[in-house]
Structure 1
Amino acid sequence: MAAQLPIPLYTTLADAFPTSDIALKHAARFNDLAQEFEHRFGHKPTYIARAPGRVNLIGEHIDYALFGVFPTAIEQDIIIACAPHEPSTRDPGHVNAHNVTPKYVPQSFTPMLRRRADSIAKQEKQEEEEQGNLYLESDWHLDIDKRELRWESYVKAGYYGVLNNYFSASSTSGVHPKPADILVTGNVPPGSGVSSSAAMVVASTLAFLAVNGKLEQQGNGLTKGKLVSMAVENEKRVGVNSGGMDQAASILGTANSALYISFYPSLAAELVTLPTTIPGTKEEEAVFVITNSLVVSDKVVGAKTRYNLRVVETLLAARLLAIHLSLPASFYESTVTPNRPTLREVVSAFILQYYSGATEPVPEKELENGLEMFLDMVEVLKGETVREAMGFPQPEDESEQGLKIEEIIKASGMDEATFREVYLSWVDVEATYFQLYKRTRHIITESLRVLEFRDLCLAASNAPSSGSNISTLEALGSLMNGSQESCSKLYECSCPELDQLTRICRESGALGSRLSGAGWGGCAVSLVPASEVTTFIQSVKERYPGYQGLSEEKLNEAIFATRPASGAFVYKLTE
C-alpha cells in the first residue's frame, strides 16, 4: 500500500523522476535554487524538498466528509532548499525563510516552548476563538495570523508538525530543533485550484524533517501515510479545515497513474491506470489540460462563508440524517470525531443497518449500491420537510430550502450549549440559511461519480488490448461534466468565469470539463484526446475572455497539458 511506503530520499534526480528528459528539466531548476541559496546564506544547502501540486480529476468537496476522491499529482511543484545553521550562531529552532519571488519578503522566526498548564491552554483557546481561528493544542508557539494571508504562514504550519511530533515538551532527550535557513520557489500558481497551499505545507514539513535528520533516522515510523496526516493537521493551522485529498495526492502521487484515495476507516490509496484512446498506443492517450480561470481564490480568504461553511453544513446534515435513521448513542461515540459524525460514517451505519451481512470497512461495490439507496434519505433534509417534521413555521419564501441555525439546533437533539461547542466552537462560519439538502445531495452523487469513474478505469485496464476506448473516455467525460453541474448548482462552489470556461472547453473538443480544487475561482481540468490537445488549447486561448491580451508566457502558465506525476520527495545534495 502506497501509504505504508517510506518517504523517498534521493541522491540523484535520475532516480526521482520517471524519464531522463523530465529529470534533466528539473535538474536545472534544482541547480539554480541551490546556487541562489548559497548566494543568499553564504553556505550550500544540504537538502531540497519537493512537493507537487495536484489536479482532482473528480470528487470535489467530499474528502472532508470521508468519501474517496480521484486526484493525480502534476509536474508543477514547490521546491525548498534548506540547511541547518550552527547552534552557536542562532537560537534553537530559529528559521531564516526566504522566497525567490521578490514580492514575498524574507522572514525570520523562532518557535517557543510554552507551558501546558490548564489555565494557559484555556486562555489561548479563548483568544483563538475570539479571532475566529481554529484552535489546535501544541507544545510550541509560532505566530500565524489567520486573518491575513502570508506566504510564511504555510512554512510555519509545516514546521509545527515537526515540532509537535518530534520535539515534544515531555521528551527527556533534551534535543532541540536545529536552526535552519530555507529558500522557497515553485511554479504551482497560487489560488488557482491546483493546491499550491498543500504543496507548500508538504514541502515545508519535509524540509524541516530533513534538516533535523528525521528522514534518515531509523525506526521513527515516518511513512508517507504519516506525512499525509501531519500535513493535514499542519494546514489547519492557517485556518482551513482541509479534508486530506490535496496532501495525499501531493505525497502519494505516482508517475503515470491516478490515485483513488479513500479516508475511511483509514487512509488508503489505490493506483489506477487511466485508459488510452487506443489501448497500447501512447500517442493516443487521454491528456488532462489545466485551464486557469484567472479568478484567484485562496481557501483561507472568505473561508467562513465558503470552504469552512461547507464543512460545517455537511456535518450538520450528517447529524440530522443520523437522527432520522435512529442510530444508537454508541454510534456517535465511536465516530472519528466523537459526537460529530461525518456523512461517510452515517452512510456506513445505514449500510450496516439495512444490508444483511455487510461488514466494515464496506467494500467499494457495496458502498456504491448503498449510496444509490441512501439518495432517498437525503430528501428529509429539505428545509420544508424538516420544518414540517419539527412543527416549525414555514418561511414566507417557500422556495427557501435552507435552515436557520436555531432550527437546526432544535432538530439536532442537543441542547444549545453542547451543540455550539461540538459544531461551532472550532471553526468560524457565517450564514443565515444553512443549505443542508443541496450540499448533501452533491456529496452523495459526487461520491457515486467517483466510484463510477474508478470502475470505468479499472475495467478498461483489464480489457483486452485491442479496439478503441473512446466510449470509455466519453463516459469519463460525462461524469466530469455531471460533477461540474453539481458543483455549480448544488454545492455553489463554482463562479461565472469557471462556468463559462468549462463550457468553452467542452465546445473546443474536451470530452469532459470541470472545476478542480476548492472552487470559487482557480482552475478547470478537461479530458482531451492527445491528438486534439494542440487545437483544443489554441481554441480556448482564443475564446476565453480572460486570456485576451495576455503575453504568450502568461498564456502558457494559464493553460497547459499534464499527465500524472511523481509525488513528494527529498533530494540530498552531495559534495
Structure 2
Amino acid sequence: MTTDEELHEHFVKIYGIEPEVRITCPGRVNLIGEHIDYHDYGVFPMAIDASTVILAAKNSTNNIIFSNFDPKYSSWESEVPCGWKGSSNPKWNDYLLCGWKGILENQKEEQFGISFLLFGTIPPSSGLSSSSSLVCASALATLSLIVNGDPFEVISRENFAHLCAKSEPLIGTLSGGMDQAAEVLASEGTALRIDFSPLRSKNIELPEDAVFVVVHSNTELNKGATSHYNERVIEGRIVAQILKQKFAISTPSFRLKDIQTLSGKSFEEILKIVEELPEEVNKEQVIELIGKDKLEECLTENTRKFTDFKLRSRARHVFSEAHRVELFEKACEEKNIQEMGHLMNESHRSCAIDYECSCKELDDICQLYLQNGALGARLTGAGWGGCAVVLMAADAVAKVEKLPSLFVSKPAQGIRVHRY
C-alpha cells in the first residue's frame, strides 16, 4: 500500500520542489436513490475509504503540470495561459482541469504555474464516483494554493460541492450534484441523506447489524464518454414539460421534484398519472406533444442528436425511486434491515427494467449475493457497469466470504486538506 511518505518523496523527485498541500477526497457508494438527484430528489449515499489524493504546489515554470503516480497514465503539461475549455471524451487530466477551471473562475483568479501529483484508489468507471472525486480534489487543491488557512472559510462546503457539480458539464456530464455533495459533506461513521435546492444534508445512523459489501461487476462504463446518462436526463426533462402542460404549471424548471411539488400530488397520485404517458416517442412526436421551443429548452449542445425517447418507464423510475429513499430513511431509523433490503431490491429492479441502466453482469452479481443470504443488492452509481452494493446482516457475512468483492464498506470522512 502506497504511503503518504512515498507520495511526498515522489513529488519531490519529479518536480524538485516540496508539496504545499495534500488533498484527500473519498469516493462514494449510493445506498439508494439512483438517477434522481438531477431531478432534485433526495439521495442516500455514504463516503468510502477508497479515495483520490492530490499533492500540489505552485511552481516557478509558469506551466500547469499534472503527473500520475500510476505509470500507465502519461503526464500532461500546458503553458499558462491554458486555453482548455472542456472535453466531450475526457481523459484523467481533463477531470483535474475541470476542477481547476471551476475554482479559478469562481475566485476570479489569473492562471499560475502549478504542479499536481495524483494518486487514486477508487476503481475507475466503477460507479463509485471516481470522476467527481477527481474534480473535487483538483478544485480544493487549486483553492488551497490560492488562499491561506482553511479554504472552507472562503467558501462553504455546500457551495463548494455545488460549484464542483456546476463545473462538470465541461467534461460532458449533466451532473445532479449527489456525488460532489457526498464526497464533500460526509462525516465519518454515518450515511448521508442529501437534499437539493438548497443543498443540505443530515447524518443518518445505520443499524449496527447492517454490513454493506461493494462488488465490481467486471464491466466498466465511462459516464462522460457515452450518451446513456445524458439521454436519461433529457427524457426526464421532456416528461417535466408534458406534466407542466397537464397541470397548467408555469415554471422554468424541468426537475420532476419541482413539478410534483407545484402539482400538490403525492407519490401515489403522480405514479398513477405517469401511467398515462406514452412510452416510446420520436423527436417529431415530442414536438407534437410539447412544441419545438419546449424541446429545444430540454436539449443541450451535445444532446441535440437524440431522436428517440422513452417517457413512461423513465418517469415511473424517478418518482418510485424518490419514494423509496423516503422509506429507506424510515427503515434505517426503525433499524429494520429486512425492509432496507427489500427497498434495495425494488430499486435495482426499477433501474434494470424502467431506467435500463443495469447490465447482465450487474444483474448476475446481485442475484448471486441474494442466493447466498444477502438481504438486498442493487447497482450503485450511473450503472451500465461498475459496482453493486449489497446489504448483509452482520451475522451472515461469513456466507459470502468466498464470493467476489471489492471491500466491506464503512462510512468515511469527506474531502479534507493537509498543509505541509
> Which position in structure 2 is the counterpart of 1:156?
97
> Which position in structure 2 is the counterpart of 1:104?
73
> Which position in structure 1 is the counterpart of 2:419?
572
Q: Which runs of 5+ in 1 are unaligned?
A: 1-24, 113-139, 169-175, 277-284, 333-338, 355-369, 384-400, 461-471, 542-557
Question: In the alignment, is the contact (CA less than 8 A) between 1:155 and 1:204 conserved in 2?
Answer: yes
Q: In 1, Cα distance between the equivalents of 2:220 and 2:304?
A: 21
Q: Which amino acid aligns with 2:64?
A: V
Counterpart secondary structure, 2:223: coil
Question: In the alignment, is the contact (CA less than 8 A) between 1:178 and 1:212 conserved in 2?
Answer: no
Deviation at 1:153, TM superposition (A): 0.2
Deviation at 1:215, TM superposition (A): 5.2
Q: In 1, Cα distance between the equivalents of 2:135 and 2:7?
A: 19
Q: In 2, Cα distance between the equivalents of 1:38 and 1:165?
A: 30
Structure 2 residue 59 is the aligned partner of structure 1 residue 212: no
Matches within 5 A, 1:233-244: 233-244=166-177
> Which position in structure 2 is the counterpart of 1:491?
355
Q: Which amino acid aligns with 2:25?
A: A
Residues 1:96 and 1:482: Cα distance change in structure 2 (over 3 Å) = same
Structure 2 residue 36 is the aligned partner of structure 1 residue 65: no
Deviation at 1:340, TM superposition (A): 4.1
> Which position in structure 2 is the counterpart of 1:122?
none
Counterpart secondary structure, 1:275: coil
Q: In 1, Cα distance between the equivalents of 2:283 and 2:259?
A: 21
Deviation at 1:50, TM superposition (A): 0.9
Q: In 1, Cα distance between the equivalents of 2:195 and 2:79?
A: 37
Residues 1:253 and 1:441: Cα distance change in structure 2 (over 3 Å) = same
Deviation at 1:48, TM superposition (A): 0.4
> Which position in structure 1 is the counterpart of 2:203?
271
Q: CA-to-partner distance for each residue in 1:516-539, whole Å, 9 max, x for gaps?
A: 00000000000012233243131x
Structure 2 residue 272 is the aligned partner of structure 1 residue 376: yes
Q: In 1, Cα distance between the equivalents of 2:341 and 2:149?
A: 41
| 427-436 or 236-245: bigger deviation | 427-436
Deviation at 1:420, TM superposition (A): 4.7
Question: In the alignment, is the contact (CA less than 8 A) between 2:172 and 2:225 conserved in 1?
Answer: no
Q: In 2, Cα distance between the equivalents of 1:430 and 1:252?
A: 36
Q: CA-to-partner distance for each residue in 1:288-308, whole Å, 9 max, x for gaps?
A: 1000001011101222xx100
Specify which structure has the higher proportion of strand.
2
Deviation at 1:436, TM superposition (A): 0.8
Q: In 1, Cα distance between the equivalents of 2:75 and 2:400?
A: 41
Q: Which amino acid aligns with 1:410?
A: E
Counterpart secondary structure, 2:303: coil
Deviation at 1:230, TM superposition (A): 1.2
> Which position in structure 2 is the counterpart of 1:287?
211
> Which position in structure 2 is the counterpart of 1:454?
329
Give the aligned length.
420
Deviation at 1:214, TM superposition (A): 5.7
Of 475, 499, 502, the residue aligned with 2:366 is 502
Q: In 2, Cα distance between the equivalents of 1:46 and 1:528?
A: 42
Matches within 5 A, 1:380-529: 380-381=276-277, 383=278, 401-412=279-290, 414=291, 416=292, 418-428=293-303, 430-460=305-335, 472-529=336-393
Question: In the alignment, is the contact (CA less than 8 A) between 1:340 and 1:423 conserved in 2?
Answer: no
Deviation at 1:109, TM superposition (A): 2.0
> Which position in structure 1 is the counterpart of 2:395?
531
Residues 1:326 and 1:476: Cα distance change in structure 2 (over 3 Å) = same
Q: Which amino acid aligns with 1:349?
A: L
TM-score, normalised on structure 2? Answer: 0.96
Q: In 2, Cα distance between the equivalents of 1:157 and 1:190?
A: 17
Q: In 1, Cα distance between the equivalents of 2:173 and 2:84?
A: 17
Q: In 2, Cα distance between the equivalents of 1:436 and 1:244?
A: 23
Question: In the alignment, is the contact (CA less than 8 A) between 1:149 and 1:300 conserved in 2?
Answer: yes
Q: In 1, Cα distance between the equivalents of 2:300 and 2:115?
A: 37
Q: In 2, Cα distance between the equivalents of 1:215 and 1:321?
A: 48
Deviation at 1:371, TM superposition (A): 1.3
Question: In the alignment, is the contact (CA less than 8 A) between 1:537 and 1:559 conserved in 2?
Answer: no
TM-score, normalised on structure 1? Answer: 0.70
| 33-42 or 209-218: bigger deviation | 209-218
Of 107, 118, 122, the residue aligned with 1:184 is 118
Q: Which amino acid aligns with 2:99?
A: G
Question: In the alignment, is the contact (CA less than 8 A) between 1:63 and 1:244 conserved in 2?
Answer: yes
- Alpha-carbon RMSD across the aligned residues, in angstroms, is 1.8
Structure 2 residue 106 is the aligned partner of structure 1 residue 165: yes
Q: CA-to-partner distance for each residue in 1:382-431, whole Å, 9 max, x for gaps?
A: x2xxxxxxxxxxxxxxxxx211111111211x3x2x23531224442554
Q: In 2, Cα distance between the equivalents of 1:535 and 1:32?
A: 37
Structure 2 residue 56 is the aligned partner of structure 1 residue 56: no
Q: Which amino acid aligns with 2:121?
A: N
Q: In 1, Cα distance between the equivalents of 2:332 and 2:395?
A: 20
Structure 2 residue 2 is the aligned partner of structure 1 residue 31: no
Q: Which amino acid aligns with 1:67?
A: Y
Matches within 5 A, 1:67-146: 67-85=41-59, 89-91=60-62, 94-110=63-79, 112=81, 141-146=83-88
Counterpart secondary structure, 2:203: strand
Counterpart secondary structure, 2:281: coil
Question: In the alignment, is the contact (CA less than 8 A) between 2:50 and 2:122 conserved in 1?
Answer: yes
Q: In 2, Cα distance between the equivalents of 1:341 and 1:167?
A: 30
Q: Which amino acid aligns with 1:453?
A: F
Q: CA-to-partner distance for each residue in 1:193-240, whole Å, 9 max, x for gaps?
A: 1010011111110110111226547963x1100110111022221000
Structure 2 residue 160 is the aligned partner of structure 1 residue 227: yes
Q: Which amino acid aligns with 2:331?
A: L
Q: Which amino acid aligns with 1:90?
A: T
Q: Which amino acid aligns with 1:518?
A: A
Of 197, 201, 206, the residue aligned with 2:135 is 201
Q: In 1, Cα distance between the equivalents of 2:307 and 2:108?
A: 43
Q: Which runs of 5+ in 2 are unaligned?
A: none
Question: In the alignment, is the contact (CA less than 8 A) between 1:110 and 1:142 conserved in 2?
Answer: no
Deviation at 1:167, TM superposition (A): 2.0
Q: Which amino acid aligns with 2:178?
A: M
Q: Which amino acid aligns with 1:247?
A: Q
